[in-house]
Amino acid sequence: MAKASTSGLIARNRSRTAFVVQLAACIFLSGCAAGNNPENVDGPLFSPEKASSGIEYAGQVGGISPNDLEPGICPAASDANFVAPATPGKHNVPDSRMRYSRGDRFNITVPGVEGFSGDYMINADGRVILPFADEIMAVGLTNAELSKRIEDAFIRAGIFNANGLRIAVRPVQYAPINIFVTGAVFQPGRTTINNIKDSDKTDKALTKFGDTPLERYIASGLRAAGGVRPDADLSNITLIRGNNRYRLDWRGAFIGGNVDDVPLIDNDKIIVAESACFQTGLIRPSQITPPGIRIFISNLTVPATSNSSSSIGQYSNSIPYGTRFLQALVSANCVGGIMTTNAQRQAVLISRNPKTLRTEVVQRSIEELVRSADRDAVNPHLMPDDAVACYDSTVTETRDVMATLQQFLNGALAQRAIIAPWR
């Protein structure tokens, strides 16, 4: 009898202990409903003041007097929708003639001498091997300059007489080239432009004379480097070719003016200078900015009932450059639904500042974003590879906590019901 009484006491103690543990867990979960907010940056995500480097612009800047631009201070983000004026300095531009690079094909025609006529290619070392004559350097030459150098090589070799020699040199196909792009671009480094399509490598395509390599120009080089950043000084783009330096102006790409677009050759280097300010006028698709950007999206909201619809773990390649935080949230299905349960939702933007290279976290109320959509301090532009996430509203969180609490309580009551007959 004493043994049975002891067993009942132990069972009741276990039941009480389990109930206390479950109740404590419920209280802990209810305390998590409010949660801890992530560290939030103050002011605009790409505040011009953060990018300031002590430069004072001369002249008018988007209607702002130069007296309002103290050294090291840029206009407020809401007023910074401008393309900065030219930085003082003389511009010099190389001629616009196409020049040969490694891998380029051209045709030589020598009237009446078939053995010397045909298609030739510039080797990896930049030279052309001529039959019965010297190897000649061809990289960086125009068509007229290459023609003259070939004629001189044939004459020096004694193959042709200077008085009777007539040759024709014509381009057949311009090859891809490697260039270097640094400065205020999203993806600086070595890049390849003017990639040739497979359809252009056939014998039929190579029988023609002449080629138009539209992808061997400055604009293509800047796009291949990810496009210019919002802090680019478009009036101060440097082209380095061998020992020569040229300064180009590309503000016309955004204001509808002329641009210094010149053909590039292999191993050219482009340096995009940084300006003091982020310019929202540069955050839009153009010839020299990204047409679209990739962002990562996470939506853990109740209205999105599956990972597919909530875009968890996926990214979007169809977000136009210039998209703002709120637009991405609409695309992620974070805005809308039942007003009572979704009006107080929060959203987070995780972004790497392209100038300071610091990762910053912005948390905003979706309701605040909807009411202040035109304020850069509230609704920033998105940059490539940003991450956007949504939090459920307080109503939804509380509802889920109460549901969890009910599950714990039901478990405790069921456990007590099972143990009670054995007391």
Find the helix packing angle between 394-419 and 2-31, rounded to 10°. 180
Q: Which of 60, 56, 82 is nearest to 278 (CA)?
A: 82
Cβ-Cβ contacts under 8 Å for 182 (sequence gap 6 or more): 188, 189, 269, 270, 271, 272
The predicted pLDDT at position 84 comes to: 77
Q: Domain locations in the chain? A: 2-31+397-422, 105-173, 291-392
Q: Which of 351, 411, 358 is nearest to 381 (CA)?
A: 351
- Would the pTM of this model clear 0.85, i.e. be above it? no
Alpha carbon distance 324, 384 (integer Å):
12
The predicted pLDDT at position 259 comes to: 93
- Structure tokens of 51? 């990018």
Q: 31 φ, ψ to 5°?
A: -70, -20
Assess contact for 46 and 380: CB atoms under 8 A.
Answer: yes
What CATH number labels 105-173? 3.30.1950
Place of tokens 């004559």: 133
Q: CA 278 → CA 78, 201, 236, 284, distances in Å?
A: 11, 43, 15, 13
Report strand pairing: 177-183 vs 189-193. Answer: antiparallel
- Structure tokens of 30? 């209810």
Alpha carbon distance 288, 218 (integer Å):
9
The predicted pLDDT at position 212 comes to: 82
Alpha carbon distance 199, 209 (integer Å):
16
Please report, in tens digits, the pLDDT of each residue of the chain (423 residues total): 454 455 555 555 555 555 555 555 555 444 444 445 555 555 555 554 444 333 333 333 333 343 444 444 566 555 556 677 788 888 889 999 999 999 999 999 888 777 788 899 999 999 999 988 889 999 999 999 999 999 999 888 888 887 877 888 999 999 999 999 999 999 999 999 998 776 666 665 566 777 788 899 999 999 999 999 988 999 999 999 999 999 999 999 998 889 999 999 999 999 999 887 788 889 999 999 998 888 888 765 454 555 455 555 555 657 899 888 888 888 877 776 555 555 677 888 888 877 777 888 888 888 888 877 667 777 888 888 888 888 765 545 555 555 556 666 666 566 655 655 555
Cβ-Cβ contacts under 8 Å for 306 (sequence gap 6 or more): none
Q: CA 124 → CA 128, 129, 139, distances in Å?
A: 10, 12, 10
Assess contact for 128 and 118: CB atoms under 8 A.
Answer: no
Q: Three-class SS string for the chain?
A: CHHHHHHHHHHHHHHHHHHHHHHHHHHHHHHCCCCCCCCCCCCCCCCHHHHCCCCCCCCCECCECHHHCCCCCCCCHHHCCCCCCCCCCCCECCCCCCCCCCCCEEEEECCCCHHHCEEEECCCCCEEECCCCCEEECCCCCHHHHHHHHHHHHHHCCCCCCCCCCCEEEEEECCCEEEEEEECECCCEEEEECCCCHHHCCHHHHCCCCCCCCCCEHHHHHHHCCCECCCEEEEEEEEEECCEEEEECCCHHHHCCCCCCCECCCCCEEEEEECCCCCHHHCCCECCECCEEEEEEEECCCCCCCHHHHCCCEEEEEEECCCEHHHHHHHCCCCCCCHHHHCCCEEEEEEECCCCCCEEEEEEEHHHHHHCCCCCCCCCECCCCCEEEEECCHHHHHHHHHHHHHHHHHHHHHHHHHHHHHC
The predicted pLDDT at position 66 comes to: 39
Assess contact for 371 and 361: CB atoms under 8 A.
Answer: no
Answer positive or negative: Cα dihedral of 120, 124, 128, 129. negative
The predicted pLDDT at position 6 comes to: 53
Place of tokens 């200077």: 162
Cβ count near 103 (within 10 Å): 19
- Start-to-end C-alpha separation, the chain: 13
